[in-house]
Amino acid sequence: MKISTFQFGELEFSEDKIITFENGLFGFEQLKKFLLLKKSDEIFYWLNSVDRPEICFPVVGVRVIDDSYPTVIEHEAFGIVTMNKNPLDITVNLKAPVYINQERKTGFQKILDSEKFQINYNLFLE
């Protein structure tokens, strides 16, 4: 399959790379198929929609922020990043993590009940 992406240009990939989100993502419930992409030297991954390739989300592995972040067995937790030209205004959504099982190529998103986790958590220190 071939899609045209914002971050990675024309991208050719096999179908077994597609991660299926049965319930989509909050705000984008209709999008079920994504690719998880990364440039080797960057902290951010990109969750890129297959159905609407112009839609993508930068995400970051939450373990770099919190060692004791809620885990789900066999899944890795990612937070959706809201970019900003000023790096100190870049935020991560720790309230609604995206859990991905890279083996099974499935994922889901949920909202954590704890008030400890903010929707707009500043990623970088001043």
Partner 1 sequence: MLILSRKINEEIKINNDVTIKIISISENQVKIGIDAPKEMQIYRGEIYDKVRESAQIAAQKIKEIPADISKLKIKKLK
Q: Which residues are near partner 1 by CB under 8 A? A: 6-7, 25-28, 41, 43, 55-58, 64-66, 69, 80-87, 90, 93-96, 110-111, 116, 119-125
What is the maximum span of the chain, computed from C-alpha positions, in angstroms?
42
**CA–CA separation, 104 and 125 (whole Å):** 35
What value does the CA radius of gyration of the chain take, rounded to a whole number of Å? 14
In the complex, the smallest distance separating the C-beta of residue 82 from partner 1, rounded to whole angstroms, is 4
Indicate the residue among 16 and 73 with the shorter CB distance to partner 1.
Answer: 73
By C-alpha distance, which of 93, 59, 97 is closest to 77? 97
**CA–CA separation, 34 and 54 (whole Å):** 12
Indicate the residue among 13 and 26 with the shorter CB distance to partner 1.
Answer: 26
Indicate the residue among 106 and 122 with the shorter CB distance to partner 1.
Answer: 122
**CA–CA separation, 68 and 17 (whole Å):** 29
Cβ contact 22:98 at 8 Å? no
In the complex, the smallest distance separating the C-beta of residue 16 from partner 1, rounded to whole angstroms, is 26
Indicate the residue among 13 and 28 with the shorter CB distance to partner 1.
Answer: 28
